[in-house]
Amino acid sequence: MNARDKDYTAADGGGPGGAADAGERNLAPASVSPHAPATPGPAMGRSRPHESARAQVAGTATYVDDIPELRGTLHAAPILSPVAHGRLRGVDAAPALAMPGVRAVVLAADIPGDPVLATFTHDEPVFARDTVQHVGQVVGLVVAETVMQARRAARAVRLDIEELPAVLDVRAAHAAQSYVLPPVTVRRGEPEAALAAAPHRLAGQLEVGGQEHFYLEGQVAYAVPLEQQQWRIHSSTQHPAEVQHWVAHALGLENNAVTVECRRMGGGFGGKETQAGHMAVWAALAARKTGRPVKLRLDRDDDFVITGKRHPFAYDWQAGYDDSGRLCGLQVTMLANCGFSADLSGPVADRAIFHTDNAYFLADVEIRSFRCRTNTQSHTAFRGFGGPQGVILVEAILGEIARALGRDPLDVRQANLYGVGERDETHYRMRVEDNILQPLIGQLAQEARYAQRRAAIAQWNAGSPVIKRGIALTPVKFGISFTATLFNQAGALVHVFTDGSVQVNHGGTEMGQGLHTKVMQVVADELGVPFERLRTTPTETGKVPNASATAASSGTDLNGRAAQFAARHIRDDLAAFVAGLDGCGAGAVSFRDGQVTSPSRTRTFDEVVRLAYANRIQLWSDGFYRTPKIHYDKQTLTGRPFYYFSYGAAVTEVAIDTLTGESRVLAVDILHDVGTSLNPAIDIGQIEGGYVQGLGWLTTEQLVWDAKGRLATHAPSTYKIPATGDVPAHLRVTLWHEGNREDNVGGSKAVGEPPFMLAISAWEALREAVAAARADGRAPLQAPATPEAVLAALSA
């Protein structure tokens, strides 16, 4: 029987003269306190520094490549396809094997398990076998004594490839019916009839580019063979459990033979949700062949050409609307460029469908989604996970409608917002029950002086022939939960040691977003101990098994709640124990600021822990949480896939140079809903970072493949992420004042992904500036809005 189920009586040492008294007499408190000075008051709701901040600033925080290498460690480098599509007729490894330090070449024939990765669709080979399907596809590995020996030798391997025609354009793929997954259609009402009856109609196309993750720490894995066919994998991954499964699958072992560990990542953004698994599998196969530990760390250029990106999308749309700009009917075709295999393209494209409404009620709508196969890298998860590709479309459509009617785009957006008690059901049949859109937008418009600034910009543009300005306010409504219901679960472990210090472990991974910090804050308050008494340990499959990816903005929601429940079990056990000591009910015992108080006595938490240990009370526990209320039919894409929605809005003002196409963001005002913030500093940092990363997607970050399928933008010299100079001096973030209406941990809401889409306001502002520069008032701007794209829109 677990300790938490026990009846605490005098026989267990809970009464006078029992073991508790003996423990109280004989267990002396520690004379020296090794922990940092405690900060009084609750841990949650305070702007505490990131738990690793000091170590990261000092350079002592350990990433995978910092782990001291075991004696005998070898290094691997990938052998890459130089063509986009071809028949692989042979591999000549002799030149590589003859080079200094080279110990092995690993190819598909060396895989003891399944030669196909353990993805849901089972459509991606571990190494290319009969065909190559994109430039940069990995054919095998060279393993050598040093990193540079391996990389030089990998380039010496000769590949015999018969080149075949390649599909590089998403519209060409759609025309050829080249798909990685079957098309999906979501429909409500009668959009054809609604379009026919609408007072006004518009139609158009839109192209939106992909995005490189550009995590500061590149893809890396370190595979260490252990005794009895067991393995330890150090992986920079958002999903250790999937890495465990993939490695075991490729090695022909059961999952229990593989342990995966991740202390932290130097950024992930979705790029290490599935694709970190490739590195781990490749390193493990090399280690198995050589019998020695193997590290695989991709060169930045190789990382660019091997790994997938945010999915580029192309759209065709028709919209019918009335004189106010309210949508009457909408038909949309989405073409998702998935690359050569499915990876996560199915749920990414599904979420794009879910978020085509963004903040707006769509009465009669049809959305057709095609998941197109091209001969490029297999595109994957990226912050927002398809949501941004849905949101940008409806915002573009409403902007076009506003310009066609000569109305303020904000008026058109407000005319289409979801209502309260009416017009409140999404096109996938989920009611919007927590709608705060109208008051949130109203507050931001007033505080940012939107109307006055818009009038001033119109006056500026009338007198400025070269520099044109634009301003836009766009909202976001983002659903929080994995759309695959089974992933909405989490586990955690909390250990209290006999000195009163606490250790926390959970299934989530830290990639700089502050997850471990927030979970520690939750546990500290649940136990009533100072935050400084807690430490977190690396995420490890041997501690919390079967954990979901740290993705979908649900890391704190899931793992924080699981850790809270684990801590609550311990607290309840200790409360029952103290109640036995003091002759009161367990509910009368409180835990706060490191003190445990009953109606008759106050003890330190450390003292209670020592007494409990002396009386054989369990001082550790697990916790498990599964998200309530959610359900979803993946065949019809209907149900309640999300536990709640996060909301926000941004006002962005921009300027463009009509002679060069250059643009600049002048000011940003954001009002964002994070519920009751667990850590305002971390949340504001996530909002700022999400906005700037979204700004990069829509303005500077352009992926260019040439006619041969080679990625031309494969390094910082050619791929431009936002720098400090791209961030305006005026970037104001305010947090919405209301807590989460659903029962979420600490009353908080997710913050990782929703702010990314606030940057769509910058793109819409650029379109307003383009329209102001054109005689016809149109804005045929594509994304990203590079200087070339702005010039093209001005002259189209």
Q: Which residues are catalytic?
A: 753
Per DSSP, the residues of 713-768 read --STTTS----GGGS-SEEEEEE-SPPPSS--GGGB---SSGGGGGGHHHHHHHHH
Q: How far apart are CA 46 and CA 166, in angstroms?
A: 54
State the Cα torsion 550-377-149-276 to the nearest 10°: 10
Cα–Cα distances in Å, from 300 out to 208, 303, 329, 721, 734?
24, 5, 46, 14, 36
Residues 91/148, Cβ–Cβ less than 8 Å: no
Q: How far apart are CA 188 and CA 203, in angstroms?
A: 19
Q: What residues pair up with 231 in beta bridges, in sequence order?
A: 225, 258
Pick from 612, 606, 613: which is nearest to 591 by CA?
606
Per DSSP, the residues of 238-285 read S-HHHHHHHHHHHHT--GGGEEEEES--S--TTTTTSTHHHHHHHHHH
Return the DSSP state at 360: B
Instruction: Give the Cα-Cα-Cα angle 100, 106, 111 (nearest 5 degrees).
Output: 160
Structure tokens at 292: 């020695």
Residue 41 identity (one-letter amino acid): G
Per DSSP, the residues of 674-724 read -BS-S-HHHHHHHHHHHHHHHHHHHHT----B-TTS-BS--STTTS----G
Exposed/middle/buried for 96, CB within 10 Å: 0-12, 13-18, 19+? Answer: buried
Count of Cβ atoms closer than 10 Å to residue 706 Cβ: 11
